Amino acid sequence: MYKNKTIAVVIPSYRVADHIGEVVASVPDWVDHIIAVNDASPDTTAEVLARMAQSNPRLQVAHNAVNQGVGGAMATGFACALKMRADIVVKLDGDGQMDPERMIDLVDPIAVGVCDYAKGNRFLHAGALRDMPNARLMGNIALTFLTKAASGYWHVFDPQNGYLAISAPYLSLLDLEHLRTRRYFFENEMLIRLNIESARVLDCPMPAIYRGEISSLQIGKVLSYFPSLLVKGFFARLFQRHILRDFSIIVPLYLLGFLMTMFGTFFGGYVWIRGYMTGVLNPTGTVMLAVLPFILGIQFLLQGLTMEMLLSPRVQSPPRDNNGPPLG
């Protein structure tokens, strides 16, 4: 227990037989429950966990019958943590790439009511960046920008960082079965859904430990899998937060901006090609009919983006009782 809060740690476990024992043993003493989820691992992870559970009263082992990726493993673990009535739930990977001693940096802000969701950010830790493989570095930078737009959390960086903690009231608002289907998109989907619920998100400097493992998240998989889900998440968030729950001017600004920008782009391209093919200069009025909608469209898009940034839930907001959603 930490500051009168019951703490549960969920460890998704897949092909981690060589590391899981060390990870479980290193979980701080103030953690009440350790939930290790064997995600149908083909190695001896299940056997190692079973032996450890016999001598560790804090450890509970859950099993997925088929491999469901990190999303499925965390959905299983989250459900167990809620049944245990944990107040704060932490995700700790089973491969030893996360420092358990830094767990308190994630838990404390939630325990004192500063935020509702805390996550690691390797880009705030200069030493960790030097150790990050170049492919991961470039991939994380690209995914960060796309996830900022999809989630609406423009102040958050490093969305692929899986070291995170969340308050139980907000965790209970999430559709765990939906998260189960997201596999490697799990962390990004969490941010999108939390923005819909107006959760306050905090980035914490957090180094990662790289041991030469080959990441199972390959560039080809990212390019084919993530963009479409981010686009779907963007529109789902706009609809849920800015239309259904509280109609906002943001959606009309985005819609008008998109339509006017597209009209200016395609009409401008048409009249330019027509003028080039015929050799006849386009009248000033025709040119302005393409330029003005394009400029206004960009202005509308920027205004909608600015309003989203201003409305994004931040940790500077007044503390909320019991780390729960705002009343009313």
Residue 316: the pLDDT is 58
Residue 238 phi, psi (nearest 5):
-60, -45
Residue 296 phi, psi (nearest 5):
-65, -40
In angstroms, the CA 135 to CA 115 distance is 31
Residue 171: the pLDDT is 96
Residue 213: the pLDDT is 52
Residue 218: the pLDDT is 56
Residue 122: the pLDDT is 84
Ranges in the chain, pLDDT < 50: 317-319, 321-323, 327-328
Helices (H), the chain: 20-25, 45-55, 69-83, 103-111, 126-131, 134-151, 168-171, 176-180, 186-196, 219-239, 250-278, 284-311
Which pTM value belongs to this model? 0.85
SS3 38: strand
Helix axes 134-151, 186-196, angle to 10 degrees: 20
In angstroms, the CA 95 to CA 21 distance is 10
Residue 327: the pLDDT is 43
Residue 321: the pLDDT is 47
In angstroms, the CA 204 to CA 194 distance is 17
Residue 318: the pLDDT is 44
Residue 259: the pLDDT is 97
